[in-house]
Structure 1
Amino acid sequence: MNRIGRYEGVVRLVLLLVVLPAVVYRLSLGRTIALWGEVRRAERTLAEADSAPIQPDTPAAMLDTVELIAGGGLLELLERLGPDSSAEVVSYTPYRTREGDDFTLRTAEIVLSGDFVPLLRTLDAAERELSGCRLLSSEFKTVRRGRQTSLQLTLVVQQLTDKP
């Protein structure tokens, strides 16, 4: 018993200098540093995208004849944009917003679930590649179910098409 008391100061010093910093890094600083690295990579990607030439939009007078929203082609297009993405479709709600003599306006609400970076990449790809549709809004929210939390991205997309 006397021997343990003799090394108590050394054990406390080792715990203070070695174990405590390792525990602090593991529990708090590790994720922060990893997220900071992801932010730096995303900033570089955005800087490269800003320097790329911008393609002009299609003229507004021409309406699409292919209905992406009603036929589910929008979901196929989203899957094609991010095949390696861990973002998954939670719900898809298409509906007709307005109908005129020669046009139909359709709206779709798509809820995606996954990690932040894949959802952000899917949103970026959707903004770039959905030429026949207009992305009206996007909303990130955290959903809790018991002890588990998940991040969801809600997209609202509209398409104006010719009436057949």
Structure 2
Amino acid sequence: MQIKKVVNSDVYKRTFEPMGKGLLLFEIKKDISRNGQNYHFFYGNGKKPPLDLSINPDDNTIEYISFLLQDEKIVSRKREDTVFFFKEENIAISDNNFSSDRPHIDFSREFEIALLNDNKIAIVSKDVKSDLIGYRIDTSNYILFQEGIFSGFLMENISTNEWEAIKESDGL
């Protein structure tokens, strides 16, 4: 996976969609989606649907990120061992292994979800033990990397409606 700094003026929409008790879909998605096949990085653990990082193959920008909270709880957690460095730069993501014949790449990875100080929720790879760099998706969402490796995403400024969706799905 290669990342490159770009200027991206796309508008994104964040949704928290309750899908029943113990199920909540988090999604950060372009407001105007591309038609056609996207490239996908799937990060799964074999127990539930994978975290899906979808990439526009035309310009390598993020189409969407989705993650299903399934029979898990969002816990208030300090990640004292992790420092977040936020950059106001957008990025494009590419990988030489993508092609029309191979539109997705699978990885085995476990993620944890944490409520951080200042009304932020982070979905972070469990094996992250040091500093993370967050690149801007939009004004309230960042994609996280550790030493060039995708490590999760962070959502800021959680709204009242989003908190209600979390409670409705029994995610707290």
As a proportion of its length, which structure holds more strand?
Answer: 2
User: Normalised by the size of structure 1, how large is the TM-score?
Assistant: 0.26
Q: Which structure has the bigger radius of gyration?
A: 1
As a proportion of its length, which structure holds more helix?
Answer: 1
Relative contact order (alpha carbons < 8 A, sep ≥ 6): 1 or 2 greater? 2
